[in-house]
Amino acid sequence: MRRDRPDFAVTSTTGTHGGRPPQVTPPPQPGTPAFDSDHPPSPELVGDCVHCGFCLPTCPTYVLWGEEMDSPRGRIYLMGQGLEGEPMTASMVQHFDHCLGCMACVTACPSGVQYDKLIEATRAQVERRHERPASDRLLRKAVFSLFPYPRRLRLMRGPLRAYQSSRLPSFLRRNRVFDRLPPTVAAMESLAPPLRKADRVPERTKARGVERGTVGILLGCVQREFFPGVNAATARVLAAEGFTVLAPRRQGCCGALSEHNGRADEARRFARRLIDIFERSGVGWVVVNAAGCGSTMKEYADLLADDPSYAERAAGFVPKVRDLAEFLVEQGTVAPRSPLPVSVAYHDACHLAHAQKVRTQPRELLRQIPGLDLREISEGEICCGSAGIYNVLYPEPARELGDRKAGNVLATGADLLVTANPGCLMQVAAALQRTGHSMALAHTAEVLDASIRGIGAAELLRRSSMDGPR
């Protein structure tokens, strides 16, 4: 039976609003309930929401559009409807799809509502039970046939480097060609970071000084091919801190993109392979330098809980996973830091701050660097709009969020923006370029590496310029 709509609920509207895709108003769909019996969103977790509204100011889509069904509590209400037998309509799916999965609401919620588990269970149901339009299916197929596969991404490097080094990009922008192309195409072109020769990480990097242990590092997909310098810096920092670093060559995707978009079977396949790889390496910890990847890897026990061959292994794997900043603070730093007289605005990647609860550690590490001036960004809890592949699937609202973030970053007056996720780096860089302002951007690992190696602030800023190769 349908529940009475609560007082806070607002019916969806049609048309566009603040860059939002048009709302779909399909005819009523008689038939089966929205969710089947295969791990639907938990009724108990849905019932935990008391509709207090503390989540609203932190939800990016609610901040943009002010529509209740595009807030966490509105989506939880829709989940409740689905659990009570309502069909899965295109309108319902659209509200779920619009969620960035940033988990800022989880941090803000005083009742401890586990929205992260609710939205992931719901998205898995959507992917199995909802027939998307052909154009959407084609785009998603293209994205998931490319981004989780480092070798395929590597094949793109040559053509992309050739394109970036030519006069074609400036010609296309000058003639506003991208304004006449589909928004997804324009978004992907603007997000591509400047590329240089890949700085590959050795399979084994020996610890410097007294060895304190052996760690593995996740190379990732986008990180490995588009930001290889971040992985190289990560390995050097860990080695300087006394850890031998293993970077198994055959490792692949961690499954984050798949898991966060409801492709659970695909995510489980990636997770099993990664567990196999790192179990064979015999490392004591697995260090991750990409926020979304680390968040998913810490959830492997839940992801593989029903797999009799991997459930126990996943439960043993999860305690070894650490974000880079989390690991360094936990173990204590020993490598001397050289001065870096530079002002830094630190951006909290959502899946680091909200999903992994790693907030103070990156700031603590940055403050250890002599001469570094750390500055906070206004509205730091609001997502930049990257959200995995959200900025590809929904470029218009993602662009609004990116522009909002860029304005807040520029307001700090900092020389350098630092964050801990490749998607954030690409998203904010694109937004800053739209403003016409130039600003250097770097991963936390690159700043630590620059201080440990003593390369100086000027060289760090040169290497981190978004106008040139990274």
DSSP assignments along 422-470, one per residue? HHHHHHHHHHHHHHT---EEEEHHHHHHHHHHT--HHHHHHHTBTTS--
Lowest-pLDDT range of 29-43, 188-202, 298-312, 313-327? 188-202
Write b or e for each residue in 61-91: b if 16 or more Cβ atoms lie within 10 A of its Cβ, otherwise e: bbbbbebbbbbbbbbbbbbbbbbeebebbbb
Cross-strand bridge partners of residue 285:
215
| Alpha-carbon span 319 to 313, nearest angstrom | 11
Sheet holding 285-288, edge to edge: 204-205, 243-246, 213-217, 285-288, 321-323
Alpha-carbon distance of 210 to 385, in angstroms, equals 42
Rounded to whole angstroms, the Cα distance separating 414 from 344 reads 5
Q: Is residue 2's pLDDT more than 80?
A: no
| pLDDT for residue 12 is more than 80 | no
Cα gap 50→181, rounded to integer Å = 44
Query: Alpha-carbon distance 289 to 291, whole Å?
Result: 6
User: Which helix (H) or strand (E) element contains residue 316?
Assistant: helix 311-317
The pLDDT of residue 409 is 97
pLDDT at 183: 80
Average pLDDT over the chain reads 90
397-434 as b/e: b if 16+ CB within 10 A: bbbbbbbbbbebbbebebbbbbbbbbbbbbbbbbbbbe
Residue 395 clears pLDDT 60, i.e. is over it = yes
Rounded Cα–Cα distance for residues 92 and 209 (Å) = 57
Backbone angles phi, psi at 214, to 5 degrees: -120, 130
Nearest to 353 by CA among 295, 296, 429, 300: 295
Q: Which tokens hold the place of 67?
A: 């529509």
Please list, in sequence order, all residues whose beta carbon lies within 8 angstroms of the beta carbon of residue 20, skipping any fewer than 6 positions away.
64, 65, 98, 396, 397
Kindly give the pairing relationship between strand 204-205 and strand 343-346. Answer: unpaired
Place of tokens 């939800």: 59
Q: For domain 337-463, give its CATH number from 3.40.50.11810, 3.90.1150.10, 3.30.70.20, 3.90.420.10.
A: 3.40.50.11810
Q: Mean pLDDT over residues 403-421, rounded?
A: 96
344-382 residues labelled b (16+ CB within 10 A) or e (exposed) = bbbbbbbbbbbbbebbebbbebbeebeebbbbebeeebb
| Per-residue pLDDT reduced to its tens digit, 438-455 | 899 999 999 999 999 999
- What pLDDT is recorded for position 404? 96
State the Cα angle at 22 between 19 and 27, rounded to 5°: 165
E strands in 152-246: 204-205, 213-217, 243-246
Residue-range domain boundaries for the chain? 43-131, 337-463
Average pLDDT on 76-94 reads 95
The per-residue pLDDT for 470 is 38
**Average pLDDT estimate for 351-373:** 97
User: Tokens 């006394």, residue?
Assistant: 242
Region of 43 on the Ramachandran plot (φ > 0 left; ψ -120 to 50 alpha; else beta): alpha
263: CB partners within 8 A, 6+ apart: 124, 127, 144
pLDDT band, residue 31 (cuts 50/70/90): low
- Rounded Cα gap, residues 441 and 423, in angstroms: 12
pLDDT, position 8? 47
The fourth-level CATH superfamily of domain 43-131 is Alpha-helical ferredoxin (1.10.1060.10)
Kindly indicate the confidence band of residue 20, based on its pLDDT and cuts at 50, 70 and 90.
very low
**pLDDT value at 286 more than 80:** yes
Task: Please report where in the chains the tokens 């350098």 appear, as a residue.
Answer: 416
pLDDT tens digits for 379-394? 999 999 999 999 999 9
Q: DSSP readout, 30-98?
A: -SS-S--SSSPPPHHHHHT-----TTGGG-HHHHHH--GGGSHHHHHHHHHHHHTT----HHHHHHHHH
Is pLDDT above 80 for 280? yes
27-41, 43-57, 90-104, 139-153: range with lowest mean pLDDT: 27-41
Angle ∠(115,65,84) on CA atoms, nearest 5: 45
Q: For the chain, percent helix, then strand, then coil, each to nearest 5?
A: 50, 5, 40
What proportion of the chain, given as a percentage, has pLDDT over 90?
78
Beta bridge partners of 343: 373
Same fold, 43-131 and 337-463: no
The pLDDT, as a whole number, for residue 446 is: 96
Instruction: Assess contact for 324 and 74: CB atoms under 8 A.
Output: no
Q: And the tokens for 355?
A: 């999903």
When pLDDT is averaged across residues 340-359 and rounded to a whole number, the result is 96
Structure tokens that stand for 398 in this block: 């993602």
